[in-house]
Structure 1
Amino acid sequence: MITRGKTVQCGGGENDRFCLLLQCNFLISFVVSPQLQHPSADVREFACASISKMLQQKHAIPAFLQRDVVRCLGPMLLDQSLAVRETAAGALRNLSACGGFEVCDDMVTKDIMTPLVALLKECSAGLEANEVSPTKCQGTKKNCVEDIANEAVNVLWNVCECNGTAVSVFNKEGCLDVVLQYLKKFSTNIDLAISVAHCLQAVTEDNPELLSSFNVSAHQVLESIMLSQDSTMEHILLRTLLAGSVWNIKDTIPSSSQASTINAILKIFSESLVVDAGETVIHMKEAETQRLKLTAEAETEENVGDTIDNSVLNEDDEMEEPPKGKIKRDNDISDLLPADKWELKQVTALLMAQQTALEIIVNMCCSEDPSDDEWEELSSSDESDLFMENSYDEGSGQPMSPLCLSAEVHAALMNNLIPKKILEKTAFPNSVAVDICMHSPSWKPLIRNSLKQRHVPPLAPMLRRSQVGLRVALSAGAAPTVPISHGSQPVGAAGVVAVCGALWLPLCVGAGGGTCRLLPRSRTEPRHCMTPEQLMTLCEAGIHSSNISVRVNVVSILGIAGSVLAKVEDTAETLKMIGKFLLEVAMKDSSLVVAGEALDALFDVFADGKEAEKAAVQIKLLPALKEFQPVFKMRMRKEGKGQYSTDQLCVLDNVKMNLRRFIAYQEKLGGEKTT
């Protein structure tokens, strides 16, 4: 459900692969393997740390798997030394995160779950014992047991996300109670709590066997954290993840509490989405700059003091003058650890929370839908017309609530202004925030991964369902204008993907309170509602994208919007714009897939309604399609077999058949009018 995101960095270029493999083999054969069995805990820890670092390189993983690294590291999870346990768990975390599904499957096959579950249970018992006098890591204020648990939970999350057997073991071994024990530490160890929340999201999805384990006590743990008022971005992420888990286990909630629980979930998502990511980037970067400045000043003062002290010593004891700068003390490995990036962690947590919230909202809207196959069958039958007739309340002319959503979900979406907030997320990133990230190497990935492309999730699963089952109106509301440009610069391809994706949800849930208006605007309506011209400008930008998915989304959005407008009075002019646009795409797009989607959208828009009939005549739709029909057939013969998959060809065949039927329907319609 949720895209995998881990803290490790996996890399390794093609030019370095051979050297890397040689290095791995040498390391395993002559260094790591003997050291894992060394009587000294420090040596074993160093061996695990060496493996952990190498496993961050994807190309190194096969060499380690050939040397049975899983079975080598598995026993180290239960080593007598806590430091060895932590580094071994960290190595397995890197292996599972960088290796992907196949490696996680291999880890489960090699029985990593046995020592992993044993470690998790020991840590849980250790946490209870340490509540009075916590076990601190040597030389630090950190709790060793919690640090080990954090690494182990991440391994558990990775393998459960990829492997069904791991999930079954989670169920049977009572791991839910164990991780909930960790979750209770959220007020003092937010990192551990977030890891648990990620893991819970993975194991609660499509896992009916686990539902019986969620008793009153388990619900109380989740509820207490969801109701917490901590305002840091990490706590927002924690509440968002847990809200997603509660949605996954909604069947365990009494029916009398369903509505309030769903509203609470969407309230959390709303609170996550309302935060301005761009402003947060600016604020956090300023805070980081100030903190680093103060730290540098403090270190300078310390170094001056050390220099003076050492000068006195030199005079007395004739010692050599130490080098300038911070003195490196014995056993100090701080230079091997990542720099403190607290502010960056906060921004990353916010963006992940917003991404997670958006994706779960999509799942909420799609989870009760029939399958794609069922909709395909429905779309080719007369039942689709029956649905369209029934989806409008006779007498009012207004669309009723979407049938795919329960009343509770639909009401909660509208009460928390979710569609409006999703449209707001489509705004081009704050230019100041983008500049800040561009000039900071550690912050730059935010632009690529979150601020633009991933800030709004792809809502394509709603597309097919929307075209037939969710023809809800774009009724009046308070949605802001969808941004088409950023200053004088047009939104780039990534921005268009985000905007197109964000339009799905308002199209699908707008019936109850509305989010976006394409209908003729009255003088009393707010001027910030979306206009047909703005939608067409967006689609003009999107249709020139080199990304086929973007172009498909564009024509599909117009198909959904046009099919609704066709049943509303005084919309012929807008339908003419949509019809001309779709005709041009169908005739000129280089991709048959896009051309086919454009034809499909035309069928939806001009299938029924007086306004549609009027617009079809004015743009000469029938003669245009009759002229284009042989061209489309010829393109399918020439291009189809060599460039497109069997599934795509099947869809295109349906489009070709529907084109013939639609032309016949339009001819019959014209004949009836003449008579």
Structure 2
Amino acid sequence: MGKSRTKRFKRPQFSPTGDCQAEAANATEAEEADGPVAELLEKLQHPSAEVRECACAGLARLVQHQPVFQVFARQDAVRQLGPLLLDPSLAVRETAAGTLRNLSACGSVDVCDDMVTKDVMTPLVALLKECSAVLDSNEMSSQEKKDQNRNTVENIANEAVNVLWNICECSSRALSIFNKEGCLEIILKYLSRFSTNIDLAISVAYCLQTVTEENSELLKSFNAAGFHVLESAMLSPFSSMEHILLKTLVSGTVWNLKDLIPSKSQAEVINAVLKILSEVLEMDASETVIQMKVAESQRLKTAAETEELIENANGDSLVEDDEVGEIPHKRKARQKTFISDLLPPTEKELRQTTALLLAQQTALEIIVNMCYSEDPSDDEWEELSSSDESDAFMETSFNECDGQLQSPLCLSHEIHTALTHYLIPKKIVEKISFPNDIAVDVCSKSPAWKFLIRKLNTIQCRALMCLQSLVSLLDLEHLGGAAALQTLAKHLSQLLFSKPEFAKHTEFLEAVSGALRALLQTMASEDISQCMTPDQLMMFGKAGICNSNTGVRVNIVSILGVTGSVLAKEDGTLETLKTIGCFLLEVATKDPSLVVAGEALDALFDVFADGKEAERASHQIKLLSILKEFQPVFKMKMRKEGRDRYSSEQLCVLNNVKMNLRRFITYQETVEKILTS
């Protein structure tokens, strides 16, 4: 139970302040937004390009607020913005693309799907093709004009690629259009410009990583020229943090395309990908944050001193210089209203630091995905779950559904060899101790850098997820041996208990509990002594089981099951086993999620399957009578809620739990007869 996971990591959504608002405001706010939206939409048809541009900029600001999504839908805003992607004015094209980028980034899956329904893909694809044609042409009369136009077109292309990426990630219809319209060739051309426009290349690389995942139709059209572009980007030198991010993203795309690579070249490509990921993870991001912040402070101090010297020397002439070089106010304001790029457009040190953190996050996500084979089909689930119910209980493992009925963990020999050769497990463990308190303190004192704290924490969570996968896949020696696992388990326990405020962060709690669960399972299978005291165990269980996240609760009961099964083999553990048993019974019979209830039943099977202390404990907590009373309730819940609320994978596992519950009750009846005879 509980090993299902989301293989695909969704891209984070960014707003100028760091996050789009999570909750929609009330209907009154939505109604109040109707007027401003309608007024701005009307201005989109104005004959003045400047008015149209300002209207787009205004809509870009408004779209950051959830109630406006309803207003946009009611007033058919997408159909009015779409044609502006091909407006005669390049500035209008850029602002229109920026508004649609905001809409697709802040909006839900439904919002993106509605954008496809409103035919945004037609002008978007046309814009991408036109930008490509302009960038390929040399028709400009003067070099200066050509360069200026090229920069503007590249900016437009960057906005358009981001819209394409957002929509394709959320809409299968958009992905189908991407395939049919030959968008792959267009964006590969953009990627080939990585040496002159790294921002555009990074946007394309993110988009490619999305559209090449589980897209068999697209894979058919990927040719040698496309691989050559990817190879060029992968082999480019680490000249900046942005290039590190680009190489990491392209490595993810190459991994998605691994089935197209001839078998004789598989090992070479896997080594190339993991070498890049290893080099990225080897960098100390916390130290980089500190160094970059110091460098920024020094640069700003030097610039201020230089400016003061010039002002003292030239008097008021500085004002005239500023006026000559000043960017128009409206253009500056418009840039601030767009959803911020993954690489913030402000100071170079912040851009560099953000790029490294995103590269490390991406590297860890790629490694997690490497650890899983493709999900079985529904037919395979049915076949796997159709075991013979007549088998005797003692001949059947209660854990028969572990691993094989989930998206299976699987490492090929080539991946296993490369992971250990490049010391990936060691580097992942180092990221678990992340982030450095000094780095967090540096970021917290600067408003512009504060959002990096969240990124530092995300890296730690991804490292914990990697650990969860690798612990289940690698041999004990590749994990550092028994002593290393005990040290790591103690460290994970300290993460949980030394900073109670972490328990409020669901993503962290799910990641650390999942890693601890996998670690304790491995330690139990290798007869390595556990690290948590019974008191710590129950404190952890009682705190975590109240969490609203199903994954957290599943991990909690699984940890209790693993630890309880170990204690059941020891003497003098009766009272602890009774406490664990009562806790698991409470969860199994009262948790609103069948998945959690099933995991709790599975844990009970593990704890009370064997051992004298376990038999005495089960008798004293009346385990048999409670389970016999709960059995029909569990079956009824599966019939009523099963297919409507749970996936085929979850139902398959629950069916096995139901079958094992019947067998376990039969076994407990035998135990009761022995104890009472």
**Under TM normalisation by the shorter chain, which class is it?**
0.7 to 0.9
Q: How does 1:105-504 map to 2 (within 5 A)?
A: 105-129=113-137, 143-230=151-238, 232-304=240-312, 307-309=315-317, 329=326, 331-333=328-330, 336=333, 337-338=335-336, 340-368=346-374, 370=376, 374=380, 378=384, 381=387, 404-427=410-433, 429-448=435-454, 450-451=456-457, 455-456=461-462, 477-478=479-480, 479=484, 481-482=488-489, 483=491, 484-485=493-494, 489=499, 492-493=502-503, 494=505, 495-502=508-515
Q: Is the 8 A contact 2:530 2:563 kept in 1?
A: no
Q: Which amino acid counterpart does residue 157 of structure 1 have in structure 2?
A: W
Aligned to 1:646: 641
Aligned to 1:525: none
Aligned to 2:79: 71
Deviation at 1:617, TM superposition (A): 1.9
Q: Which amino acid counterpart does residue 422 of structure 1 have in structure 2?
A: I
Q: Is the 8 A contact 1:303 1:326 kept in 2?
A: no
Deviations 1:509-565, CA, capped at 9 Å, x for gaps? x8xxxxx797467xxxxxxxxx621598985564222325323213335657898x8
Aligned to 2:46: 37
Q: Is the 8 A contact 1:354 1:455 kept in 2?
A: no
Partner residue of 2:623 out of 615, 625, 628: 628
Q: Is the 8 A contact 1:556 1:597 kept in 2?
A: yes
Following the alignment from structure 1 to structure 2, what is the Cα–Cα distance between the partners of residues 461 and 488?
A: 20
Following the alignment from structure 2 to structure 1, what is the Cα–Cα distance between the partners of residues 243 and 574?
A: 49
Following the alignment from structure 2 to structure 1, what is the Cα–Cα distance between the partners of residues 592 and 62?
A: 46
Q: Which amino acid counterpart does residue 201 of structure 1 have in structure 2?
A: Q
Aligned to 1:87: 95
Deviation at 1:149, TM superposition (A): 0.8
Task: Go from structure 1 to structure 2 and tell me whether the alpha carbon gap of 1:540 and 1:386 turns closer, same or farther (over 3 Å shift).
Answer: closer
Task: Go from structure 1 to structure 2 and tell me whether the alpha carbon gap of 1:532 and 1:159 turns closer, same or farther (over 3 Å shift).
Answer: same
Deviation at 1:142, TM superposition (A): 8.0
Deviations 1:439-484, CA, capped at 9 Å, x for gaps? 3333333334551587327859999x99xxx798756632562423
Aligned to 1:599: 601
Q: Is the 8 A contact 1:419 1:506 kept in 2?
A: no
Deviations 1:44-68, CA, capped at 9 Å, x for gaps? 3222222222222222232233332
Deviation at 1:347, TM superposition (A): 3.2
Q: Is the 8 A contact 1:273 1:354 kept in 2?
A: yes
Q: Which amino acid counterpart does residue 554 of structure 2 have in structure 1?
A: V
Q: Which amino acid counterpart does residue 194 of structure 1 have in structure 2?
A: I
Task: Go from structure 1 to structure 2 and tell me whether the alpha carbon gap of 1:532 and 1:580 turns closer, same or farther (over 3 Å shift).
Answer: farther
Q: Which amino acid counterpart does residue 276 of structure 1 have in structure 2?
A: D
Q: Which amino acid counterpart does residue 661 of structure 1 have in structure 2?
A: R
Q: Which amino acid counterpart does residue 204 of structure 1 have in structure 2?
A: T
Deviation at 1:194, TM superposition (A): 1.1
Deviation at 1:171, TM superposition (A): 1.4
> C-alpha root-mean-square deviation of aligned residues, in Å?
4.9
- The question of 1:8 aligning with 2:21 is answered no
Q: Is the 8 A contact 1:519 1:571 kept in 2?
A: no
Deviations 1:277-305, CA, capped at 9 Å, x for gaps? 32232222222322332333344445445
- Which sections of structure 1, spanning at least 5 residues, go unmatched? 311-321, 391-401, 511-515, 522-530, 608-612
- Which sections of structure 2, spanning at least 5 residues, go unmatched? 1-7, 337-344, 401-407
Task: Go from structure 1 to structure 2 and tell me whether the alpha carbon gap of 1:210 and 1:541 turns closer, same or farther (over 3 Å shift).
Answer: farther
Q: Which amino acid counterpart does residue 12 of structure 2 have in structure 1?
A: G
Q: Is the 8 A contact 1:452 1:498 kept in 2?
A: no
Greater Cα shift, 245-254 or 438-447: 438-447
SS state at 2:346 partner: coil
Deviation at 1:151, TM superposition (A): 0.5
Following the alignment from structure 1 to structure 2, what is the Cα–Cα distance between the partners of residues 374 and 363?
A: 21
Task: Go from structure 1 to structure 2 and tell me whether the alpha carbon gap of 1:252 and 1:618 turns closer, same or farther (over 3 Å shift).
Answer: same
Task: Go from structure 1 to structure 2 and tell me whether the alpha carbon gap of 1:330 and 1:533 turns closer, same or farther (over 3 Å shift).
Answer: closer
Task: Go from structure 1 to structure 2 and tell me whether the alpha carbon gap of 1:541 and 1:273 turns closer, same or farther (over 3 Å shift).
Answer: farther
Deviation at 1:201, TM superposition (A): 1.4
Count residues in correspondence: 622
Deviation at 1:381, TM superposition (A): 3.3
Task: Go from structure 1 to structure 2 and tell me whether the alpha carbon gap of 1:505 and 1:114 turns closer, same or farther (over 3 Å shift).
Answer: farther
Greater Cα shift, 545-554 or 616-625: 616-625
Deviation at 1:156, TM superposition (A): 0.8
Q: Percent identity?
A: 48
Following the alignment from structure 2 to structure 1, what is the Cα–Cα distance between the partners of residues 452 and 631?
A: 42
Following the alignment from structure 1 to structure 2, what is the Cα–Cα distance between the partners of residues 219 and 431?
A: 42
Task: Go from structure 1 to structure 2 and tell me whether the alpha carbon gap of 1:282 and 1:369 turns closer, same or farther (over 3 Å shift).
Answer: same
Deviation at 1:258, TM superposition (A): 1.4
Q: Which amino acid counterpart does residue 531 of structure 2 have in structure 1?
A: E
